[in-house]
Amino acid sequence: MLSRLLWRADARLGRMSRRRVAVVALFLAVAVGVADHFLAPDLLLLYLVPIMVAAWYGGRKSGMVVALYAAASAFLTQALAAGAGQMVDPVSIVNLGIRLASYLAMVWVVARLRESRRQQRDLVGFLVHDLRSPLSSAITGLLTLQQNHRSLDDEEREMIELALVSNQRALTLVNSILDVAKLEGGKMAVRCVDTDLGELIRQALEGLRLWARGAEVELVSEPRLDRWVLDPDLTSRVLTNLVGNALKFSPQGGSVVVTAEPDPHGVRFSVRDQGPGIPPEVAEEIFEPFVQVKGTRGGTGLGLTFCQLAVKAQGGRIGVQSQLGQGSTFWFVLPPHAPTSAGECEPDGE
């Protein structure tokens, strides 16, 4: 629960402007100062929280402003508690200098760590982005080879299919890593258009047919609603991630069922598998970054994070129903949107 709250706070603060972050940090510093004035224990360490928030999300300048305020606030609080005659006591002035130096050093460290993390993420982003082109070319070449060369024997065809599945899974992973960062930063455009849901599900499953065939798992499409206004690209990729996740845990001879049906809050998509199920303690956190079910192998834990962000970007919600030994059903609900000429997602007021 705590990790989920921290992740949500990190995502929200990361989308704020530096000025707004500085205002939030100053508000936290004021709250700590008020508590420090009325409580007997010295709240020196609590002042570090708004300072770190300002330095991490707002940059070095914001951190320095909050550090100066925190040091001055702590000095005035102690001086007022000691009495007017002690406000210029040399010990208090020394304490002020020590606190200010400590706070500024913390700002410097946090700002450097933030810059290091930014450079690391940029490097990973560049590397992952550069992987998309060769993976797409490899998939195109393999598809061409598979379709145009009838002289291939069964073993050669099987090797091509295996290579196709591996490359498609790698491309899905690459796209998820890139798009999680875009969605977290609010930089991915969401376009809603009137969409044929049966065709949407068919296209989402098409790229997974080879994987399902190799795993001996049946893919079943059951659309119970004809059309809906949504972002077809994001929704298709959410379905692809959820079905791919279901294929990882489905037993041979099992099935994965994808449905789209009316819901009181919009349209409800469901992906039901016959896998081992998800432990209750993991089900609540499985959509957080890098969280994986214990005992599983492979993946980064970002696929479900992408699904959650993509659904929320369309104003929807996502969840999972699961019991150990009885499979899992991942679902998401998208609210009604009014179609616009610009393709923007506007809530339907009806």
Strands of the 266-272 sheet, one edge to the other: 218-223, 255-263, 266-272, 328-334, 317-322
Residue after which a domain boundary falls, among 140, 164, 184: 184
264 and 202, same domain (yes or no): yes
Residue after which a domain boundary falls, among 85, 119, 153: 119
Helix (H, G, I), strand (E, B) or coil at 335: coil
213 and 231, same domain (yes or no): yes
9 and 67, same domain (yes or no): yes
44 occurs within a structural domain: yes
- Give the model's pLDDT for residue 89: 63
249 occurs within a structural domain: yes
313 and 223, same domain (yes or no): yes
- Give the model's pLDDT for residue 262: 93
73 occurs within a structural domain: yes
Q: Does the CA dihedral 227-228-230-235 come out positive or negative?
A: negative
pLDDT tens for each residue of 204-228 = 888 788 888 888 899 999 999 889 9
107 and 167, same domain (yes or no): no
Residue after which a domain boundary falls, among 119, 144, 160: 119
pLDDT tens for each residue of 257-285 = 999 999 998 999 999 999 888 887 777 77
124 occurs within a structural domain: no
262 and 215, same domain (yes or no): yes
- Give the model's pLDDT for residue 318: 92
Provide the domain limits for residue 224.
193-347
341 has a pLDDT exceeding 60: no
Residue 273's CATH number = 3.30.565.10
158 occurs within a structural domain: yes
Cross-strand pairs, 320: 330
Mean pLDDT for 1-21 is 68
pLDDT tens for each residue of 114-138 = 888 777 766 666 666 677 778 888 8
Number of domains in the chain: 3
DSSP 295: T
Is the whole model's pTM more than 0.85, yes or no?
Answer: no
pLDDT tens for each residue of 304-339 = 888 888 898 888 999 999 888 888 999 999 998 766
- Give the model's pLDDT for residue 186: 63
172 and 75, same domain (yes or no): no
45 occurs within a structural domain: yes
220 and 340, same domain (yes or no): yes
Closest CA to 238 of 313, 324, 326: 313
26 and 148, same domain (yes or no): no
